[in-house]
Amino acid sequence: MPAVVILGAQWGDEGKGKATDQLGSSLDYCVRTSGGNNAGHTIVVNGEKFATHLLPSGILTPGCVSVIANGVVVDPGALFREVDGMNERGVDTSRLVVSSNAHLITSYHTTMDKVTERFLGKNQIGTTGRGIGPAYADKINRTGIRVADLLDEKILRDKVEASLDLKNHILAKVYNRRAITVEEVVEDLLSYVDRLRPMIADTSLLLNRALDDGRTVLFEGAQATMLDVDHGTYPFVTSSNPVAGGACTGSGVGPTRIDRVIGVVKAYTTRVGAGPFPTELFDADGEKLWEVGGEVGVSTGRNRRCGWYDAVVARYAARINGLTEFCLTKLDVLGSWERIPVCVGYQIDGVRHDEMPMTQSEFHHAEPIYEFFDGWQTDISGARTFDELPKNARAYVQALEEMSGAPFWAVGVGPGREQTVVLR
């Protein structure tokens, strides 16, 4: 099973790190293909909790080569803070590789991200403020700075100058902020070159050769399907393509080489930041999901909005990504409810929709249609096989599988590596 994509099937924070971990020791390469340090994966290894942001979670698997591929936007300061943090805890980061074509996040991108959000007022996206959108905007505008540019100081200076010129006009004239000098940006970027140089590689070549040699390569998604700039709840999305197709464009590995596409889906739903969320709860149930699920953002510490499982979203993710299977996470969190609602369709302006509506306006009006399942009201965190789950938990999982559009591969029953029930 050499090439596997793992991605988020909802609005992020589904527990992708745990699903990644499940492939564990068989992993030779672990690749990030989109997003940047806006991501946050929590991984518990031998009872010790680790959080990764920009680093692929394979960094915690001994012997695994961790790859930051071309589709990622890299804030070098954030990268080395994370590397240093890992090293301090005894994690070996010597196998980290960074694509020469990945774009850089500079101080002007993070500044632009924050001032733009403030300017948007009530229309703000609720970004992580990490400069993700402005860095991708520069990439598409063809005014981005790439990792390889760091290797040629003259080119770097020219590119920063060209990119900064218009931004300084905007910063000073629209946002009334201090202009940023070319020198301060160049100096900051050059301060990372010596550490970065040995990590820089043609990662497309590296990964294709690894696949030729029969190595196992995991493409690890960040963010999620509903945050995809093309297929998510635009404009309340991130600025990249976290869907399965993004794993190919973001790495230079063709779609015919991918063997499995695993969608990670929580047994309920959460979302951080603004935007529509049909099954969102504003009552005691929502508060309980938040509390029991520990639903606080790994990257920004923001509280996640919580709601019930949405099978329309799951079916949509199965379709958009061509999922071969799902990994269901955090089933244990639902252990104290007597009755568990699941959204099976939407009522929109008097019409029933079983699939994602065509327009965002319709999605904003979507009222969930619920089916109710009996809870199991017991701790399931010790279950290791499907048969060890209580009858009602099995029925809940089977019902979700039937309505979600792809087979369930594994079910998470707790945060630990071993707390997983593998179904097939």
Contact between 242 and ligand IMP by CB under 6 A: the answer reads no
Among 127, 269, 329, 420, binds ligand IMP (CB under 6 A): 127
Contact between 133 and ligand IMP by CB under 6 A: the answer reads yes
Contact between 3 and ligand IMP by CB under 6 A: the answer reads no
Distance set, CA 371 to CA 179, 227, 309, 403, 407 (Å) = 55, 26, 11, 11, 20
Among 38, 116, 233, 419, binds ligand IMP (CB under 6 A): 38
We find the least distance from the C-beta atom of residue 53 to ligand IMP, in angstroms, to be 9
Spatial separation of the C-alpha atoms in residues 199 and 98, rounded to whole Å: 6
Q: Is 202 marked active-site? A: no
Contact between 66 and ligand IMP by CB under 6 A: the answer reads no
**Dihedral sign computed on CA atoms, order 292, 346, 15, 196:** negative
Contact between 13 and ligand IMP by CB under 6 A: the answer reads yes
Element (H, E) at 271: strand 269-271
Among 10, 22, 110, 128, binds ligand IMP (CB under 6 A): 128
- Which residues, including other chains, have CB under 8 Å from residue 58's CB and lie 6 or more apart? 20, 27, 29, 30, 64, 65, 66, 218, 220
Catalytic residue among 28, 41, 75, 231: 41
Contact between 276 and ligand IMP by CB under 6 A: the answer reads no
Interaction mask 187-226, ligand IMP, x per CB under 6 A:
-----------------------------------xx---
Contact between 239 and ligand IMP by CB under 6 A: the answer reads yes
65/132 with CB nearer ligand IMP: 132
219: which 2 tokens?
């493409």
Among 4, 6, 39, 343, binds ligand IMP (CB under 6 A): 39
Element (H, E) at 45: strand 41-45
Element (H, E) at 200: strand 200-201
Distance set, CA 366 to CA 272, 287, 354 (Å) = 19, 22, 11
Q: Return the range that interacts with ligand IMP (CB under 6 A); candidates 21-29, 35-43, 203-211, 248-256.
A: 35-43
Give 43's strand partners.
Answer: 50
Q: Is 41 marked active-site? A: yes
We find the least distance from the C-beta atom of residue 317 to ligand IMP, in angstroms, to be 15
In sequence order, what DSSP letters do the residues of 297-348 get, joined into one string?
Answer: -TTT-PBPEEE-EEHHHHHHHHHHHT-SEEEEE-GGGGTT-SEEEEEEEEEE
User: Which residues in this chain contact ligand IMP in the complex, by CB under 6 A?
Assistant: 12-13, 38-40, 125-128, 130, 132-133, 222-223, 227, 236, 238-239, 272-273
Which residues are designated catalytic?
Answer: 13, 41
